[in-house]
């Protein structure tokens, strides 16, 4: 099983769509745990892609390809994910999106997937989301948590704008704010007004449960 997860990780990292999908299907047939498949296979592969991008080995076009591979792999897992979701007790509603000025969504998509598996209702606003859209969605869906993602140092300060917009709308006291992304740390998250920082998708789920007293 470990070898199969390694093959998934490597095929994602090498941007090999056909091999990734073949290994994912095989893993399902062999009964590999879906959470492990996502976390230790697909997510680890995406992490390596991110590292290659940061080092200059990969470019924006490669990130786009990797996102397509990830999404197609998830589509294969969708029936199993829906089945798992029905078996867990609803925990709360999370509104999630990538902050305005930033169009990267790989990390955000992974967090959204893991939250859904764990029993959260997730409202995914997509990328380049302005503060007012977060506010509007919190009101519309009576959200418990706002998740904000950013990959760029130049856009991470926009998190503060979302927090301020929530305050202005009188919503900040009723929602928790969790943030994540490459340029962030626990300290920076606090400085920007967030309640918590999710280092990765698994940690983000754990933190969301704790924020709502469901851990």
Q: Which domains does the chain have, with CATH numbers?
A: 2-86 (1.10.1240.10), 92-211 (3.40.50.280)
Which alpha helices (DSSP H) does 30-124 contain, by range? 34-36, 43-54, 60-86, 106-117
Q: Look at residue 119 and give its three-state secondary structure.
A: coil
Q: What are 94's strand-pairing partners?
A: 122, 145
What does the pLDDT average to over 163-172? 97
Q: Look at residue 178 and give its three-state secondary structure.
A: strand
Ramachandran angles phi, psi of 169, nearest 5°: -85, 0
Confidence of residue 25 (pLDDT cuts 50, 70, 90): very high
What does the pLDDT average to over 161-189? 95
Q: Look at residue 80 and give its three-state secondary structure.
A: helix
- Is the CA virtual torsion 86, 95, 169, 136 positive or negative? negative
Distance of alpha carbon 25 from alpha carbon 27, whole angstroms: 5
pLDDT in tens, 79-116: 888 888 777 778 999 999 999 999 888 889 889 988 98
- What's the pLDDT score for residue 143? 97
What does the pLDDT average to over 6-15? 96
Average pLDDT, the chain: 92
Distance of alpha carbon 107 from alpha carbon 113, whole angstroms: 10
Q: What percent of the chain has pLDDT above 90?
A: 64
- What's the pLDDT score for residue 1? 65
What does the pLDDT average to over 47-75? 88
Distance of alpha carbon 207 from alpha carbon 215, whole angstroms: 8
Confidence of residue 62 (pLDDT cuts 50, 70, 90): very high
- What's the pLDDT score for residue 215? 62
């Amino acid at each position: 099983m470990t070898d199969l997860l390694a093959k998934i990780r490597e095929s994602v990292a090498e941007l090999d769509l056909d091999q990734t999908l073949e290994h994912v299907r095989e893993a399902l047939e062999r009964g590999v745990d879906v959470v492990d498949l996502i976390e230790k296979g697909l997510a680890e592969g995406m992490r390596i892609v991110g590292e290659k991008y940061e080092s200059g080995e990969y470019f924006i076009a490669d990130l786009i390809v990797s996102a397509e591979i990830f999404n197609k792999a998830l589509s294969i897992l969708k029936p199993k994910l829906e089945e798992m979701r029905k078996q867990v007790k609803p925990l709360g509603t999370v509104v999630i999106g990538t902050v305005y000025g930033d169009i990267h969504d790989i990390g955000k998509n992974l967090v959204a997937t893991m939250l859904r598996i764990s029993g959260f209702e997730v409202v995914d606003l997509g990328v380049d989301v302005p503060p007012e859209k977060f506010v509007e969605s919190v009101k519309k869906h009576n959200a418990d948590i706002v998740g904000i993602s950013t990959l760029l140092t130049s856009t991470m300060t926009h998190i503060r704008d979302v927090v301020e917009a929530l305050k202005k709308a009188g919503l900040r006291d009723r929602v928790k704010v969790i943030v994540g992304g490459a340029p962030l740390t626990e300290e920076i998250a606090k400085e920007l007004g967030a309640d918590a920082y999710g280092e990765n998708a698994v940690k983000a789920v754990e933190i969301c449960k704790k924020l709502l007293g469901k851990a």
